[in-house]
């Protein structure tokens, strides 16, 4: 039903359907990626200015080392499959906040990791798991997709391209709402379960392409589950049930292992 809705929307509105790298899923993306990249840069700079950046050289170097390997693998994959890479201007920062177990990647490759995540990540492979997952959200343009869906509902079938062009303030507001930056520190887009599962699959492949053993991802998500305490039922959450997520990861593992070459 969801895929049918997307296809019909593309036909009726005369806008572009794009294909998600690695998974091949068709999606509706109405907003120019360049516009989202510029909005994300402004938001990223604001988050950094409102945060305390880590001065722990070892940890900062770890985040940047892992990030650079993942970025190189991502761009290599995109180029080899005919996708553009010019919109990515990678940046990796570690925010000193031991109480926040979080990370995010905005359009254009602007990435931040919160120091509270590092004890759970434990090592480079664990960090590559979560950073690869967040890069996957940006790579798959999940934010653009959610904003496009919101625009269609909001505009009631009007010409979306005109609405976006004539209402830059509305576009900016949707961006801020979609990425949760209005009131949350270290905001991350509240992706649907579909997006989360897709990001898990893409992230697993990206970490494998970067030379990190994708099998280590299972241990990371197990630790995240143990750290998270009690969970709401899966159908009440935008995120997959932790154990369901681990089961799905195992089904994606052969695909990732096929491109894994230790470095």
Identify whether 263 is part of a domain. no
How many other CB atoms are there within 10 angstroms of residue 134's CB atom?
Answer: 24
Q: What is the pLDDT of residue 174?
A: 54
Question: Is position 233 within any domain?
Answer: yes
What is the reported pLDDT for 229?
Answer: 44
Q: Which residues, other chains included, contact 50 with Cβ-Cβ below 8 Å and sequence gap of 6+?
A: 185
Whether residue 57 is contained in a domain is answered as yes
Q: Where are the beta strands (DSSP E) in 164-255?
A: none
- The whole-number pLDDT of residue 249 equals 93
Question: For residues 241 and 231, is the Cβ–Cβ distance under 8 A?
Answer: yes
**What angle separates helix 242-257 from helix 216-228, to the nearest 10 degrees?**
170
Indicate whether 147 belongs to any domain: yes
Digitized pLDDT (tens) for each residue of the chain, 263 residues in all:
444 444 444 544 444 578 899 999 988 787 777 777 888 888 899 999 999 999 999 999 999 999 999 999 999 999 999 999 999 999 999 999 999 999 999 989 999 999 999 999 999 999 999 999 999 999 998 888 877 776 665 554 444 444 445 555 555 555 545 544 333 333 334 447 788 899 999 999 999 999 999 999 999 999 988 875 444 444 334 566 777 888 999 999 999 999 999 98
Residues with a known catalytic role: 134
Given a contact cutoff of 8 angstroms between Cβ atoms, the answer to whether 111 and 91 are in contact is yes
Burial class (CB in 10 A: 0-12, 13-18, 19+), 261: exposed
Helix or strand or coil: residue 154? helix
What is the model's pLDDT at position 86?
A: 92
Beta-carbon contacts of 4 under 8 Å, excluding residues fewer than 6 positions away, are: none
Per-residue model confidence (pLDDT) at position 18: 82
Q: Which two tokens stand for residue 45?
A: 């700079």
Secondary structure element (H or E) that encloses residue 38, with its range: helix 33-49
How many Cα atoms are found within 13 Å in the side-chain-facing hemisphere of 219? 14
Query: What is the domain extent for residue 90?
Result: 2-257
Total number of domains in the chain:
1
CB 248 within 8 A of CB 197: yes
**Which tokens hold the place of 162?**
């005109």
Q: Does any domain span residue 262?
A: no
pLDDT at residue 35, as a whole number: 77
88 part of a folded domain = yes
In a domain, 169, yes or no: yes
Q: Residue for token digits 């699959």?
A: 201
Q: Does the residue 76 lie in any domain? A: yes
């Amino acid at each position: 039903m969801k895929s049918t809705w997307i296809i019909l929307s593309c036909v009726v509105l005369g806008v572009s359907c794009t294909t998600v790298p690695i998974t091949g899923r068709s999606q509706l993306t109405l907003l120019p990626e360049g516009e989202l990249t510029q909005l994300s840069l402004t938001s990223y700079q604001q988050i950094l200015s409102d945060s305390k950046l880590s001065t722990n050289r070892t940890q900062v170097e770890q985040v940047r080392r892992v990030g650079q390997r993942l970025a190189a693998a991502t761009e290599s994959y995109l180029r080899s499959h005919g996708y553009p890479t010019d919109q990515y201007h990678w940046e990796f920062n570690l925010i000193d906040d031991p109480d926040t177990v979080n990370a995010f990647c905005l359009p254009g490759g602007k990435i931040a990791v919160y120091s509270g995540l590092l004890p759970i990540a434990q090592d480079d492979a664990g960090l590559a798991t979560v950073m690869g997952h967040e890069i996957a959200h940006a790579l798959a343009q999940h934010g653009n997709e959610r904003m496009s869906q919101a625009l269609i509902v909001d505009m009631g079938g009007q010409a979306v391209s005109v609405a976006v062009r004539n209402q830059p303030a509305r576009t900016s507001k949707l961006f801020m709402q979609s990425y949760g930056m209005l009131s949350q520190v270290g905001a991350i887009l509240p992706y649907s379960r579909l997006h989360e599962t897709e990001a898990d699959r893409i992230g697993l492949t990206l970490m494998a392409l970067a030379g990190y053993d994708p099998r280590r991802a299972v241990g990371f998500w197990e630790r995240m589950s143990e750290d998270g305490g009690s969970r709401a039922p899966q159908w009440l959450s935008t995120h997959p049930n932790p154990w369901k997520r681990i089961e799905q990861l195992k089904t994606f593992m052969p695909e990732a292992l096929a491109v894994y070459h230790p470095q």
